[in-house]
């Protein structure tokens, strides 16, 4: 796996959950949030792009979400976040 830096703007509107990474456990926190998010997505049969998106924010805050194809569904209790980046990194399988 290789990290690729993309120098193009990226805009995402994602749905999921945020939490605080206690003891700087960002990965464990993100996985717990992601599991909670996928349970709601699957139980509500929400069509999505299938890509896990983790956002690392100030003060040890982490957001785990996914882009939904249709945002007009019922209230799911998930947080919504609009992300605008001028460049970003992604993992590339080789």
Give per-residue pLDDT as tens, 16-62: 999 999 999 999 999 999 999 999 999 999 999 999 999 999 999 99
Q: Give the CATH number for residue 18.
A: 3.20.80.10
- Can you give the residue range of the structural domain that contains 82? 2-92
pLDDT for residue 34: 97
DSSP state of 32: H
CA 56 to chain centre: 10
Percent of the chain with pLDDT over 90: 82
Beta-bridge partners for 4: 90
- Joined together, the tokens standing for residue 43 give 């139980």
Q: What is d(CA 59, CA 4) in angstroms, rounded to the nearest whole number?
A: 26
Structurally, the chain folds into a number of domains equal to: 1
The three-class DSSP label of residue 29 is helix
């Amino acid at each position: 796996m290789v990290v690729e830096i993309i120098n193009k703007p990226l805009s995402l509107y994602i749905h999921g959950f945020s939490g605080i990474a206690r003891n700087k456990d960002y990965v464990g926190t993100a996985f717990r949030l992601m599991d909670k998010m996928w349970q709601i997505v699957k139980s509500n049969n929400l069509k999505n792009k299938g890509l896990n998106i983790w956002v690392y924010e100030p003060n040890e805050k982490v957001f785990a979400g996914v882009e939904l194809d249709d945002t007009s569904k019922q209230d799911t209790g998930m947080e919504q976040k609009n992300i605008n980046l001028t460049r970003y990194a992604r993992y590339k399988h080789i």
